[in-house]
Amino acid sequence: MENWLVLSLGILILGLLVGMVYQRVGQAFDRRKYPPPGQLVDIGGVRLHLNCLGQGTPTVVMDAGGSAPAIAWGMVPAEIAKFTRVCTYDRAGFGWSDPNPRQPRTSQQSVDDLHLLLTKAGINPPYLLVGHSLGGVNMRLYASQYPEDVVGLVLVDSSHEHQMTSEMWRSVLRISWVYQVLRIFSHIGMVRLIGEMNLLPMLKVLKQKIQKYPLAVQTLFDTFKSFCYRPHYWATASSEFAHAKASLEGLQSVTSLGSLPLMVLSQGAKDPRISEERFQRWAALQLDLTKLSSNSQRIVAEESGHWIPLDQPEIIVDAVRRLIERV
């Protein structure tokens, strides 16, 4: 019996060591295969990935949704770059940016990081801000705190401070816990192994969805998959979910952006998994966002679900172009 326990423990330790080596080798391979397309800017011991394209003013600055890297914008930045400068960035812990476990991943922290990033990189205002989902929360907060730097705002199916019910908050906390489990498993290569076998549910669903998009967007899947194999991706995503309540509560004081040119882009195609009541409530909250400015307009992306950047990217590009013409 004692020999059996020793043998079992030895096999377990050996398996863990093999998994850790597999993970380390895989990460090194990913770094060589998927180099950052932009620059890594040190904002004080943490490097954030910033990628700027095109020329012109104002500079369009884009922030992706919750747990999403900048590549989630798909082809939108490249199209905007045809008529002005556009900068996308990865929040700390996502994409090619370094993690920052010392700071909780709240919207206020994202605003502080972004302001420092733009300053350090020499990206001077004026800015036209574009934010999707949770990125919309970040950009709305940024516009309220640096109004002299911002000349326009595009909210793409943005989160709203009153969107969460008690049941939804419990779901968010459960997801945060699951992400912490995935963080632990990713250290020993389990997430990588399961992902390569196409058995990781999140990646499996995403792979099926992304097949309907242009080839240039489909090719981004492998890059995103490499991000998901990193332990700090899940740690950061967990922190964003765990602090979502604080992020949304931080918007309660942002009741007006004055006459700032504002475009609110909302999904128009209901996800069949979502009830009609919930969908109509979301639509009402999207309409409420137009009250933030006396100079606002709402556009419904009739053929899009929540992922407007991939479903109807031309709507975002057109909204940015119209705001630039206006300002």
Query: Is 5 domain-assigned?
Result: no
Q: What is the pLDDT of residue 23?
A: 83
Q: Which CATH number goes with the domain that contains 265?
A: 3.40.50.1820
| Residues 275 and 219 both lie in one domain | no
Classified as helix, coil or strand, 25 is helix
- Domain-embedded: residue 13: no
Q: Same structural domain for residues 225 and 251?
A: no
> In angstroms, how far is the first alpha carbon of the chain from the final one?
78
Write down which residue in 239, 261, 295 finishes a domain.
Answer: 239
What's the pTM value of the predicted model, to 2 decimals? Answer: 0.93
Q: How many domains does the chain have?
A: 2
| 6 pLDDT above the threshold of 70 | no
Say if residue 144 is in the same domain as residue 261: yes
What are 31-42's pLDDT values in tens digits?
999 999 999 999
Taking the CA atoms of 164, 169, 174 and 180 in sequence, report the sign of the dihedral they define: positive
Q: Which amino acid is at 141?
A: L
Q: What is the number of other CB atoms lying within 10 angstroms of the CB of residue 267?
A: 23
> Are 72 and 309 within 8 A, CB to CB?
yes
> Is 86:45 a contact under the CB 8 Å cutoff?
no
One domain for residues 246 and 137: yes
Question: Are 254 and 204 in the same domain?
Answer: no
| Better-scored residue on pLDDT, 254 or 155 | 155
Parent domain of 199: 167-239
**How far is it, in rounded angstroms, from Cα 19 to Cα 64?**
32
Are 206 and 259 members of one domain?
A: no
Among 239, 259, 274, residue at a domain's last position: 239
Residue 80 lies in a domain: yes
Tokens 């109807």 — which residue?
A: 312
Which among 185, 220, 239 is the end of a domain? 239
Work out the pLDDT band at 50, boundaries 50, 70, 90: very high
- In this structure, the answer to whether residues 262 and 318 fall within a common structural domain is yes
Going by their DSSP bridges, the two strands 47-53 and 86-89 should be labelled as antiparallel
> Do the domain assignments include residue 21?
no
Co-location of 45 and 141 in the same domain:
yes
pLDDT at 15: 59
Higher pLDDT, 169 or 148: 148
Residues 172, 318, single domain; the answer is no
In a shared domain, residues 88 and 205:
no
In-domain check, residue 50: yes
Q: What is the pLDDT of residue 195?
A: 87
CA distance 73 to 308: 9
